[in-house]
Amino acid sequence: MTKTKKLTINDIATKANVSTATVSRYLNGQLNQMSATTASKLKKIIKETAYIRNSAAVQLAKQKSNLVAVVASNIDEYFSSEYFKGVVSILSAQGYIGVLFDSNSDEITESNLLESVYNQNFAGLILQPLSTQHHLIDKFTNNHIPVVLIDRDIGNGDISTVTTNNFQVTKFAMESFLGKGFKKVTIITEPVNRISTRVERIAGVRSVFNHAQLIEVDTDHLNLSELSDDLDIKNPTHLLFVLKERLLIQLLANTDLLHEPKTQQRLTGFIDTNIPKYLAPTYKFIQQSPYLMGATAAELLMTQFSEQQPTDIKQIVIPSHFE
């Protein structure tokens, strides 16, 4: 009796005149990555040949390592280094290793990094997103690779996210300054670019000071003399509100605000470390908890790794405090 040769994925690809990658996508249910004609052709061939996948090979291909990709928007930011410490504190205790990638505040770099991470053998992904394009993350979730977003939301509600109370705490801080007689606020930030944290913080300011001025700057090429020309820095009822610690430190260190006669605070913003408090010990800032946010994101990822627990989508808010 002649033994029938078992068909392979290469045989199916040859019969359909497509690549093995296309066959693999079809078998993994990723029909959105091919035409309806191709999907129909593959379905017909697989049915006619009674093709059965090599389950052992599939399981081998799906094995995950103990590596977790952590993609930061910009590792030069204090927030990124602090939350990565939190991530590692949880991962290492569970036998996983966090691998840090830097998008360098560039969406194209982020897209290329995510493609590279997807094609490597990572167990999961913790992402501080720049882009709001869902498809960059959908490929992970469609292939059952756990994903947790940190600091920012992309608005689809389908991915577990760890953020802070940006709008609420900003509004609270603004109400405090309004009560002290401030009449004007200038918001200083990097380009907003629909990034949820920046959008929410600006909304928090304008819920109290609805005509607040917005100035977008490049942190890496900040020209303080040009910036000063746009600011009414001598006005005692004018508040400068800075959305990022690195910008805030540059302004604290390079303006005359700290060297004026003792007047009320006229510069504040979000901070991730105690450095601004060392520079201005009498000032109040909005203190984030990036370490705790990172640890929480890693814990959510660990929950998704557990096969005994359902994959619940969780939106966790780690409060920031005006202090």
The answer to whether the beta carbons of residues 84 and 72 sit under 8 Å apart is: yes
Structure tokens at 139: 């490929």
pLDDT at 229: 67
Q: Are 153 and 132 in contact (CB under 8 A)?
A: no
Distance between CA 153 and CA 161 in Å, rounded?
A: 7
Indicate the helix (H) or strand (E) that contains 24. Answer: helix 20-27
Task: Give DSSP secondary structure letters for 44-80.
Answer: HHHHHHT----HHHHHHHH---SEEEEEES-TTSHHH
pLDDT at 129: 95
Element (H, E) at 92: helix 78-93
Report pLDDT digits (tens) over 25-56. 787 667 777 888 988 898 898 888 877 665 54
Q: Which H helix or E strand runs over 305?
A: helix 290-305
Count of alpha carbons within 13 angstroms of residue 284, beta-carbon side: 14
Backbone torsions φ then ψ of 298, nearest 5 degrees: -65, -35
The tens digit of pLDDT for each residue in 170-182 reads 999 999 999 999 9
Q: How confident is the prediction for the chain on average, in pLDDT?
A: 86
- Residue-level pLDDT at 2: 47
Radius of gyration of the chain (CA): 25
Report pTM.
Answer: 0.78
Measured from the Cβ of residue 19, the count of other Cβ atoms closer than 10 Å reads 11
Domains contained in the chain, CATH given: 9-61 (1.10.260.40), 64-163+290-318 (3.40.50.2300), 166-287 (3.40.50.2300)
Angle at CA of residue 320, ends 319 and 323, nearest 5°? 135
Per-residue pLDDT tens over the stretch 228-238: 666 777 788 99
CA distances from residue 73 to 114, 165, 168, 243, 247 in whole angstroms, order as listed? 12, 19, 24, 15, 16
Higher-pLDDT residue of 62 and 7 is 7
254 has pLDDT over 80: no
| Residue 40, number of CB atoms within 10 A of its CB | 11
